[in-house]
Amino acid sequence: MKQEYLGMVLPITITSIWWWSCLIRGVDASPQINLLNKGCSQYNATNLPEFYTNLNATFSDLKTQLNKNSTHFATAQQARGSDPVYPMVQCRNYLSAADCAACFAAAVSQIRNCSAANGARVIYDGCFLRYESAGFFDQTTLPGNVGLCGNNTASQATAFSAAAGKLLVDLQLATPKINGFFAATKNEVVSSGSGNETVYGVAQCAETISKTGCQDCLNVAYANLQSCLPDTDGRAVDAGCFLRYSSTSFFPDNQTTNIASFLKTGGNSRKKAIIIGVVVGGVRLLILIVGVFLYFKLSRKPEAARRGDILGATELQGPMNYKYKDLKSATKNFSEENKLGEGGFGDVYKGTLNNGKIVAVKKLAILQSDRAKANFVNEVKLISNVHHRNLIRLLGCCSKGPELLLIYEYMANNSLDRFIFGPKRGSLNWKQLNDIILGTARGLAYLHEEFHVCIIHRDIKTSNILLDDSFQPKIADFGLARLLPDDQTHLSTRFAGTLGYTAPEYAIHGQLSEKVDT
């Protein structure tokens, strides 16, 4: 509404003068749509009309929620159909309801630039908006978390850094304990120079994460802002939280949170203090040593985040990278004795990792050009994000060694062919067989229609249907056909399909559709 208003400036009425004076007073009325971070998923929705309907429905749902309850946080979901949309919006709590609505409207129009992307996010100073094709409301810290520093250095560098550092520590400690996970506070810069400067800060977590999740996320945010000091401004963005400080006031004074009561240490440490007070020398020293030890253990910074990656499930989480050396020793140097089978894509070995976990290691027999390797990493990333109980979990990969290796969860009962044709023929009862048929169909339906990229298996057969401890089926080898160069996929039955199982239209003409798997 305000934006429309600003468009028609000329008729200066009493109301508009009132409006302007509010605006000029500064921070009090502004949706703060300074863009900090944005991103679109690299995957598009499949059924566009359905997707846009879902997207519009969830956005208007969010809008209603923000309006009706004048809250600053909302989530929604439209999970019907093939292209579900899960959005989340959050305004900084110091924004008025009108500014929050304006920030949300700006975010919606900005995020629509991602057109049909099945996930996207926009982060402003005043609010953020994100949607994905699956729920993400419990995400805390993700790769791509980053600190954004200002361009100016504070004039009283040392004093400013001290005051801002203290402010950030306080926010980091107090915010997770505050209902609603939001705090805004300020701190005086104590310096010998003239004038009294102040540093302002806010911290906020998504309301759908846990207290410890909020804590974890703010720890990372805090670490990310360390390199900004003594710049006069810094912002840390992450999936589940936001942390910002500035030498200029950016929230109304009456929105300041009194965080003092949340900074008091609990009764536990008061008890400790009494003990220290009473007990003499030796014990005091012992406690000190334990304390110092704990301090270093607890305050160790979280592992440095990978930079360059962007935030969000949108950008798929990377698979775990295993060391070639470890896999070699886990499989006893890929010994015959550990061999579980030979598949179209390469041999599979049973491996026992250092931590005792048993895995299946697949040695890929595909060409190792640089392009193939780059492709490999992307496809593996995609496959490792497929989670369904009737699909084998890809745990990670190894592309650094002399071979390309894939690491899967291990299935105790091996594959279905052993129970149909092999030594254990006839040992499954009708109930088990029925469960296997239904489970396999569910796994395929997920690959074809529910995962955000349609994956066609191309080689469904009994030896690719593995059985877990309770004889539930899990489809193996899905997604691997995507690793082959386009021209190889349908010509070579060795790679992308087994003669006798492959659909004739695919084997002969290379026509590929979901029907190939059915």
Ligand X SMILES: *[C@@H]1O[C@H](CO)[C@@H](O)[C@H](O)[C@H]1NC(C)=O
In the complex, minimum distance from the CB of residue 174 to ligand X, in angstroms, rounded to a whole number: 20
Q: Return the number of the residue (254 or 354) whose C-beta is nearest ligand X.
A: 254
Q: Name which position in 42, 110, 472, 498 contacts ligand X (CB under 6 A).
A: 110
Stretch that binds ligand X, among 49-57, 160-168, 346-354, 355-363 (CB under 6 A): 49-57
Cis-peptide, bond into residue 176, ω within 30° of zero: no
Q: What number of CA atoms fall less than 13 Å from residue 224's CA on the CB side?
A: 30
Q: Return the number of the residue (252 or 341) whose C-beta is nearest ligand X.
A: 252
In the complex, minimum distance from the CB of residue 103 to ligand X, in angstroms, rounded to a whole number: 13
Return the H-helix or E-strand segment holding 50.
helix 48-69
Task: Please say whether the dihedral angle defined by the alpha carbons of residues 478, 480, 484 and 488, taken in this order, is positive or negative.
Answer: negative
Is 47 near ligand X (CB under 6 A)? no
Residue for token pair 């003669």? 499
Q: Return the number of the residue (25 or 387) whose C-beta is nearest ligand X.
A: 25
Stretch that binds ligand X, among 107-115, 170-178, 188-196, 261-269 (CB under 6 A): 107-115
Q: Name which position in 52, 137, 262, 324 contacts ligand X (CB under 6 A).
A: 52
DSSP state of 78: B
Q: Name which position in 47, 53, 71, 378 contacts ligand X (CB under 6 A).
A: 53
Q: Return the number of the residue (87 or 147) whose C-beta is nearest ligand X.
A: 87
- Exposure letters 352-374 (e unless 16+ CB within 10 A, then b): ebeeeeebbbbbbbbeeeeebee
Total number of residues binding ligand X (CB under 6 A)? 9
Task: Please say whether the dihedral angle defined by the alpha carbons of residues 70, 71, 73 and 78, taken in this order, is positive or negative.
Answer: negative
In the complex, minimum distance from the CB of residue 31 to ligand X, in angstroms, rounded to a whole number: 13
DSSP string, 306-337: PSSSPSSGGG-PPPEEPPHHHHHHHTTTT-GG
Task: Please say whether the dihedral angle defined by the alpha carbons of residues 360, 365, 369 and 375, taken in this order, is positive or negative.
Answer: negative
By residue count, the chain amounts to 518
DSSP state of 446: I
In the complex, minimum distance from the CB of residue 53 to ligand X, in angstroms, rounded to a whole number: 5
Is 56 near ligand X (CB under 6 A)? yes
Contact string (CB under 6 A) for ligand X, positions 63-102, x = contact = ----------------------------------------
In the complex, minimum distance from the CB of residue 15 to ligand X, in angstroms, rounded to a whole number: 16
Q: Name which position in 21, 34, 70, 113 contacts ligand X (CB under 6 A).
A: 113
In the complex, minimum distance from the CB of residue 184 to ligand X, in angstroms, rounded to a whole number: 12
For 354, list phi and psi in degrees, rounded to 5.
Answer: -55, -35
Q: Return the number of the residue (87 or 143) whose C-beta is nearest ligand X.
A: 87
Share of the chain residues as helix, strand and coil, in percent rounded to the nearest 5: 40, 20, 40
Closest CA relative to residue 414, chosen from 402, 403, 422, 404 = 422
Contacting ligand X within 241-270 (CB under 6 A): 252, 254
Q: Return the number of the residue (113 or 153) whose C-beta is nearest ligand X.
A: 113
The whole-angstrom separation of Cα 514 and Cα 518 is: 7
The whole-angstrom separation of Cα 339 and Cα 415 is: 14
Contact string (CB under 6 A) for ligand X, positions 9-28, x = contact = -------------------x
Residues assigned a catalytic role: 459
Stretch that binds ligand X, among 50-58, 72-80, 276-284, 290-298 (CB under 6 A): 50-58
Q: Return the number of the residue (254 or 470) whose C-beta is nearest ligand X.
A: 254
In the complex, minimum distance from the CB of residue 16 to ligand X, in angstroms, rounded to a whole number: 18
Alpha-helical regions (H) of 331-392:
370-383
Q: What does the binding site for ligand X look like in residue numbers (CB under 6 A)?
A: 28, 52-53, 56, 109-110, 113, 252, 254
